[in-house]
Amino acid sequence: MRLLENNIQGYDFYIEKENMREEIIRGLSSPIKTISPKFLYDHRGSELFELITGLDEYYPTRTEVKIFNEKIQEITMAVGDVHTLIEYGSGSSNKIKTLLHNFSSLKEYVPIDISRDFLFQSSLELGMQFPHITIKAVCGDYTAPLTLPLESKGKKVIFFPGSTIGNFEPVEVRNFLMKSAQLLNEGDGFLIGVDTKKDINTLEKAYDDAQGITAAFNLNLLTRINRELEADFNEEQFEHLAFYNKEKGRIEMHLESQYDQAVKIEEHEFYFRVGETIHTENSYKYSIGEFQEIAIQCGFKPSKIWMDDEEKFSVHYLEK
- What is the full DSSP assignment across 157-198? EEEE-TTGGGGS-HHHHHHHHHHHHHH--TT-EEEEEEEPP-
Write down the pLDDT at residue 91. 55
> Minimal CA–CA distance to 318: which of 306, 300, 291, 305?
300
Pair 227, 135 in one domain: no
Pair 164, 228 in one domain: no
Task: Please report whether residue 48 resides in a domain.
Answer: no
Are 313 and 301 a contacting pair, CB within 8 Å? no
Q: What angle do CA 134, 122, 184 make, to 5 degrees?
A: 50
Pair 146, 280 in one domain: no
Look at residue 200 and tell me whether its pLDDT is greater than 60. yes
Task: Please report whether residue 22 resides in a domain.
Answer: no
Task: Please report whether residue 185 resides in a domain.
Answer: yes
Task: Please report whether residue 2 resides in a domain.
Answer: no
d(CA 190, CA 318) in angstroms, rounded, equals: 5
CATH of the domain at 82: 3.40.50.150
d(CA 140, CA 138) in angstroms, rounded, equals: 6
Look at residue 44 and tell me whether its pLDDT is greater than 70. yes
Structural domain count, the chain: 2
Pair 57, 121 in one domain: yes
d(CA 137, CA 119) in angstroms, rounded, equals: 7
d(CA 195, CA 271) in angstroms, rounded, equals: 35
Looking from the CA of 54 toward its CB, the CA atoms found within 13 Å total 9
Per-residue pLDDT tens digits for 69-123: 999 999 999 999 999 999 998 755 678 999 999 999 999 999 999 888 889 889 9
Pair 82, 126 in one domain: yes
Pair 161, 223 in one domain: no
Q: Span 140-158, mean pLDDT?
A: 87
Pair 36, 152 in one domain: no
Which of 12-16, 86-90, 171-175, 200-204 has the weakest average pLDDT? 12-16
Confidence class of residue 269 from pLDDT cuts 50, 70 and 90? very high
d(CA 258, CA 277) in angstroms, rounded, equals: 9
Task: Please report whether residue 20 resides in a domain.
Answer: no
Are 217 and 40 a contacting pair, CB within 8 Å? yes
Pair 167, 273 in one domain: no
Model-level pTM greater than 0.85? yes
Range of the domain at 232: 28-43+200-284
Q: Span 308-314, mean pLDDT?
A: 96
d(CA 92, CA 229) in angstroms, rounded, equals: 28
Instruction: List Cα–Cα distances, 307 to 69, 189, 218, in angstroms.
Output: 12, 19, 29
Pair 225, 143 in one domain: no
Task: Please report whether residue 1 resides in a domain.
Answer: no
Pair 308, 191 in one domain: yes
